[in-house]
Structure 1
Amino acid sequence: MHIHDLFASVPLERSAAMPLFRQLYARLKDAILHGRLAPGARLPATRELAQQLQVSRQTVLAAYDQLTAEGYLRGGVGQGTFVDAALPVARQAPAAPSVAAGLLRPLPERGAAMAASMARVRYHDGPVRAFRPSMPGLDLFPFEVWRKLEMRALRRPGPHLGYGAPRGDLRLRELLCAYLRASRGVDCTPEQVIITSGSQQALYLLAHLLLAPGDGVWVESPGYQGACAPMTVAGARICTVPVDAEGMDVAWAAAHHPDARMVFATPSHQLPLGVTMSLARRLALLRWAGANKAWIIEDDYDSEYRYTGPPLASLQSLDRAGCVIYTGTLSKVLFPALRLGYVVAPPALAEPLAHAKAVVDRHSAILPQMVLADFIAEGHFARHIRRTRDAYAERRAALLDAIGARLGERLRCGPSDAGLDLCLHFRPGADGRFPDEARVAQAALDTGIELRPLAYYANPQAGPACAVDPGLVLGFSAVGPADIRRGVEQLAAVLERTA
């Protein structure tokens, strides 16, 4: 092909945002890669091509220089410019552009599991509204304080802004230890704390570090769906366990899945049912795990928010066998975009876990850790928790009052003494039937309110023993009392239409 033909039908665009030399470079590169300019082909002299294209010679020189630097062209002063003869002969491009219909080759089993494992997990989308579940009140966070702390950290350039330890910022780990010891009874040292990019990364690391393919893992159903994904990708066998008024049914699990190697539990506040694991169940779980050398992951995702008394002591505080791995997140206390979580590992596990963390992402972002350390040390963290606890208590009361007044005959409330969400079970109609959860949730979304059907939290592998009465999960922390009351009116209208 004559080089002039490359530009005859589609000339360079002089008004485009891309500079002319970049357009010329891209056009020549594409022609070489697709065989329209063969290896060894001679290109016009820079003055000649500049005249043909009516551009400056500098434009052509810049394009040629870039192509030469990348190995497409060779030549020199007095020698001419050629497509490098050492390049393999390329196939001619098809007449019309085509897009590959699928992957180059199928994903391997592990890759396919990873790509599919979070497919059922929903992500928050669009503006915050009633009744977005598990969402803190962003209107309550002191972003201006955070911004000032962040700017102060950036004005202190030094080694602390370089690479850090996989465990995370030492000062933050020290402050978290003090906080967890005082508020949750967690027995730990800073060396046991590993900062992670959210609790989801913590679960991924623990699953891949501690589980062999085929190992059984107890998971609550209904329960947090994101917990099963890393276990599944690690090749674990998911063992669903029913939940009742006392929390995870440990005796049932021990009878049906006695060989499990790990337990994922939310003892302080079960998602989504809202129940708290009884002391008898906690002790039974610890005895079983100790006797069977099984790990327990204690997910303490929103324990700061208890409205009828102080936060309960952690399961980790009762552990004497070194089997409890305590995980927490700051997404619910501060704001989800922060993506900071932490693990308190048994002493012997801390170093292997830190090394595993380094494999995944070296360390979590250091600057947010430094800012959070200052946020805690200067008292902003404690003030924010007190402020949000009071605000969420008011929002919770508004939701309970509105439901009692408008929907008491249709819905019964689950436990409401902790957390950011409320589980509501449908009352059967006169015919003994329950409303369709999915239909109600979609109709609610169509009217501008956001909630989740209880079935969303049921594990697909769960059997009849894990069944619960149908219902809805409503978050009450994301918006104020006025929006909550309006939302209940909208939900009442939806239930009238869909009943």
Structure 2
Amino acid sequence: MDFRLQALQKLQGEPIYLQLYRRFRDAIAEGKLRPGDRVPSVRSLASELNLARGTVETAYQMLGSEGYLLARGPAGTVVSPRLADRIGRGAPPVRPCPPSAPRTTVTEPPPFQLGLPALDMFPRKTWARLAGRHAHSLDVAAMAYPDPCGHEALRHAIASYLGISRGIACTPEQVFVTAGYRCALDLVCRAVLQPGDTGWFEDPGYRFARQFLEQAGMRLSPVAVDDDGLDVEAGLQQAGAARFALVTPSHQSPLGVALSLPRRLALLEWATATGGWIIEDDYDSEFRYHGRPLPALKSLDRAGRVLYAGTFSKVLFPGLRLAYLVVPESQIARFRETASVLHGHGAILHQATVADFMAQGHFARHLKTMRSLYAERRGYLLDALTQVFGDALYVPPRRGGIHLLAHPRAGCSDRTLATLANAEGLAVEALSAWGRLDTSPEGLLLGFTNLATAGQALGLCRRLEKAWGRLPGPSVA
């Protein structure tokens, strides 16, 4: 395969590492590189092309993370043998991008998928420019073992952002950057909890967090959620001696309600009196369409009992795998010691890029744009649901979030409806799958962030109507 230097130029500002990544990816797709073929080492390819080793290493890391290359230590790096089955069936591992395809072309996400930001509106050119600058200027310090607490510049940027937007007064030393939200939960479990500890968990609540905590050995006590959020009194009656509570107070996941001030104070009082921990998952509080975003529960914490978790998956893109945890000052040493023995702190290149993205004002501008855009796209889906289903679906009024909750009329199982919708590739989730209590409500969860037009929303709702028309007995519409 020809990787001559003249074929790698700074065309229209595209970083060299991305061009190198594309060359390898397309060569594998076209069969020029076969599964098991050995590729040049980072050192030799960098020398051959007169590039910085960091540039080649970044391209190889991207190819490895996406399953194209497999590192075998002293045996070198090869094209992943796992691609053999796909190539053997006559299908390439990827569809190479045509040379004339615009760089803004992206694979369309499944309709109504939860948790995805508007991928079509992400400022990719700005991001690529910042990421390319860091890749080209990779120095010895950046190539060494990273700080287990996270990139210093990013921790400063996060602390500054939280102080302004969420009312959280914290220092960069209190901020720990992790490779995703579940890594933040892992850090909490290892630092201040023990397997077998009991914790309050919202019901219905974020099911992936529930699964992680149960696999980590925690015993979860499901606590009902109503219009005022987590029922603290019910939690006290069920498990008053619990060691922790995981809550989504600003925008409850998945019901979308906010934890009322009396219950916030009651929850803090419980934690202070018992020495319990409150894990605040503030996953999408930036997206509130009426009034200002609610203050974080952490901003009311005076006793140092709240562990605040945030993520960049909903505001930037989930492929970053970056989240963060803010701990009380009294716990910095304990969390630093725990973080030092864990893996998966997140790629430094990504962390440095996010730090610049925030420090240069792109983050704030992006959030402002997304709030306006999501309010519009939310309206598209609301109007389409009303037009197609009328009174057959009830959508409770909510002030924020990036998904809608729709309750079907009595007699229609939400799991049956979700199964029928997903058979058509619509990525609808059943609310009852997020709960454990017998009193857990039924409903349908539909993301709207990637509905680009009113016509698209209406067309998708027509597809829902068609899918649900196959229900035995009376249909939903």
Structure-to-structure mapping, 1:324-473, within 5 angstroms: 324-361=306-343, 363-428=345-410, 434-458=411-435, 462-464=436-438, 466-468=439-441, 470-473=442-445
**Conserved? CA contact 1:249–1:281, under 8 Å:** yes
In the other structure, the counterpart of 1:492 is 465
User: What is the CA-CA distance between 1:193 and the residue it aligns to?
Assistant: 0.2
In the other structure, the counterpart of 1:169 is 151
User: What is the CA-CA distance between 1:148 and the residue it aligns to?
Assistant: 1.0
Q: What TM-score does the superposition give when structure 1 sets the normalisation length?
A: 0.71
Matched residue count: 370
Taking only the aligned residue pairs, the percentage that are identical comes to 41
**Conserved? CA contact 1:166–1:355, under 8 Å:** no
2:121 pairs with one of 112, 120, 140: 140
Q: Please say if 1:483 is aligned against 2:460.
A: no
- Relative distance call for 1:154 and 1:493 in structure 2 (3 A) is same
AA matched with 2:160:
A
Provide structure 1 residue ranges, at least 5 long, that are not aligned to the other structure.
Answer: 1-15, 20-68, 71-125, 429-433
1:188 pairs with one of 154, 170, 179: 170
**Conserved? CA contact 1:274–1:415, under 8 Å:** no
AA matched with 2:341:
V
User: What is the CA-CA distance between 1:191 and the residue it aligns to?
Assistant: 0.5
- Relative distance call for 1:288 and 1:18 in structure 2 (3 A) is closer
AA matched with 1:235:
G
Please give the alpha-carbon distance, in whole angstroms, between the structure 2 residues aligned to 1:258 and 1:395.
Answer: 42
User: What is the CA-CA distance between 1:373 and the residue it aligns to?
Assistant: 0.8
AA matched with 2:444:
L
CA RMSD of aligned residues (A): 1.9
Deviation readout 1:231-273 (Å, 9 max, x if unpaired): 2233221111000000000001101111100000000001111
Q: Please say if 1:130 is aligned against 2:130.
A: no
2:206 pairs with one of 221, 224, 236: 224
**Conserved? CA contact 1:305–1:420, under 8 Å:** yes
Please give the alpha-carbon distance, in whole angstroms, between the structure 2 residues aligned to 1:168 and 1:261.
Answer: 27
Please give the alpha-carbon distance, in whole angstroms, between the structure 2 residues aligned to 1:187 and 1:377.
Answer: 18
Please give the alpha-carbon distance, in whole angstroms, between the structure 2 residues aligned to 1:191 and 1:245.
Answer: 36
Please give the alpha-carbon distance, in whole angstroms, between the structure 1 residues aligned to 2:212 and 2:385.
Answer: 37
User: What is the CA-CA distance between 1:380 and the residue it aligns to?
Assistant: 1.0
- Relative distance call for 1:18 and 1:327 in structure 2 (3 A) is closer
Q: What TM-score does the superposition give when structure 2 sets the normalisation length?
A: 0.74
Structure-to-structure mapping, 1:26-425, within 5 angstroms: 127-158=108-139, 159-361=141-343, 363-425=345-407
Compare 216-225 and 477-486 and name the one that shifted more.
Answer: 477-486
**Conserved? CA contact 2:403–2:445, under 8 Å:** yes
Deviation readout 1:178-234 (Å, 9 max, x if unpaired): 111111111211010000001110011212222223221000111101212332233
In the other structure, the counterpart of 2:47 is none
Deviation readout 1:121-152 (Å, 9 max, x if unpaired): xxxxx951321111111001011111111110
Please give the alpha-carbon distance, in whole angstroms, between the structure 1 residues aligned to 2:125 and 2:143.
Answer: 22
In the other structure, the counterpart of 1:27 is none
In the other structure, the counterpart of 2:9 is none
In the other structure, the counterpart of 1:474 is 446
List, as ranges, runs of 4+ consecutive aligned residues in structure 1 with deviation greater than 3 Å.
16-19
Please give the alpha-carbon distance, in whole angstroms, between the structure 2 residues aligned to 1:257 and 1:310.
Answer: 34
Please give the alpha-carbon distance, in whole angstroms, between the structure 2 residues aligned to 1:18 and 1:486.
Answer: 45
Provide structure 2 residue ranges, at least 5 long, that are not aligned to the other structure.
Answer: 1-33, 38-73, 76-106
Deviation readout 1:282-341 (Å, 9 max, x if unpaired): 111111111111000000000110000111100000011100000000000000000000
| SS of residue paired to 1:473 | strand
| SS of residue paired to 1:360 | coil
